[in-house]
Structure 1
Amino acid sequence: MLKILIAIDGSECSLDAVQHALKLVQKGLQAQFVLANVQEPASLYELVTSRDPELIAAASLEAGHHLMAPALALLQQAGLECETEVGIGDPAHTLVDIIEDTGCDLVLIAARGQGAIASALLGSVSQELAHASPVPVTIVHAIDVEPAPEEPLEGESAAD
């Protein structure tokens, strides 16, 4: 069975990758899922001022699981089970490590759609992962949501 890693950073945009996975399942894809979140490593200041580095690591793991909770809920509501993984480090390279450690066959990651200039200046985790990943990467662009029809103002009819 196909094993798919879904990268989750806690943004609404990253839930688009989960929605894409759900659409694939609805169309008949049978797969196992791994939700993955990568936390920034502790800063030198945090390491120096903390008396307990294990406490910092535990807080990072807790934050990662908290950020993945909405994605996990979506998959569970659809009756799908999944693993969760939290890594600490550079996002793209840490995701590659998680891909290899969990034996994933494919990656889904959302793109924020920053544009070419912003991506070049700021870097893009999805682009970097696409180049570094040992397995295929599907970059999911933001899902367009149909705007709700406007309600007619009081005294107006829908035909006005």
Structure 2
Amino acid sequence: MLKILIAVDGSERSLDAVRHALQLLQQGLRASVVLANVQEPASLYELVVSRDPDLIASASLQAGADLMASARALLDAAGIAYDTEIGIGDPGHTLVDLIETSGCDMVLVGARGQGAVSSALLGSVSQAVAHASPVPVTIVRHAAPQVEPEDLQEDDGATDTLEGFRGGA
């Protein structure tokens, strides 16, 4: 059976990847799912102030679990079983390591997660994963909200307001 790693960081963009996986599974794809989150390593300041590396590691794991909560809720609601993996390190490289150690056959990642500012300088996580991954990577774009026909008003009064400007004053 196919094994899909979905990179999640708590952002709406990463949830797009989860929704895409749900669509594939609902259309009949037989696959297992691994949700993966990567936490940045502790800074030197954090290590000096805390002086307890186990406490910092525990906080990182808890932060990763918290950031996966929305993705887990989507999969739980759909009745999809999954595993979770939380790594610590550079997100791109660590995700590639998780792909290999989890034995995944493909990866789904949102087009841009929370790292938009840093990705402008360093390159996005999705690009790094796509470049280094040993398996196919699907980068899921964020869909624009759909406007429902009932949301559109036939006459909202805007043309009446503009009529006053056409004739001049």
TM band (smaller chain): 0.7 to 0.9
Unaligned runs of at least 5 residues, structure 1: none
The separation in 1 between residues aligned to 2:2 and 2:138, in whole angstroms, is 14
Give the drift of 1:150.
Answer: 4.5
Deviates further, 79-88 or 118-127: 118-127
1:117-159 CA-partner distances (Å, limit 9, x unpaired): x966341110110010011100000022213515689xx69xx
The separation in 1 between residues aligned to 2:21 and 2:56, in whole angstroms, is 32
**Which 4+ stretches in 1 moved above 2 angstroms?**
118-122, 150-153
Query: SS state of the match for residue 142, structure 1?
Result: coil
TM-score w.r.t. structure 1 length? 0.88
2:94 corresponds in structure 1 to 94
Counterpart AA for 1:50: S
Counterpart AA for 1:16: D
1:106 corresponds in structure 2 to 106
Query: SS state of the match for residue 104, structure 1?
Result: coil
Query: SS state of the match for residue 10, structure 2?
Result: coil
The separation in 1 between residues aligned to 2:51 and 2:61, in whole angstroms, is 18
2:135 corresponds in structure 1 to 135
The separation in 1 between residues aligned to 2:43 and 2:119, in whole angstroms, is 24
Counterpart AA for 1:110: G
Output aligned runs, 1:10-159, within 5 Å: 10-112=10-112, 121-148=121-148, 149-150=151-152
Counting matched residue pairs gives 152
Alpha carbons of 1:78 and 1:49: their partners in 2 closer, same or farther (altered >3 Å)?
A: same
1:93-129 CA-partner distances (Å, limit 9, x unpaired): 000111111100000000029xxxx966341110110
TM-score w.r.t. structure 2 length? 0.83
Query: SS state of the match for residue 126, structure 1?
Result: helix
Counterpart AA for 2:41: P
Q: Which has the higher helix share?
A: 2
Unaligned runs of at least 5 residues, structure 2: 161-169
Query: SS state of the match for residue 10, structure 1?
Result: coil
8 Å Cα contact 2:119/2:125 also seen in 1:
no
RMSD: 2.2
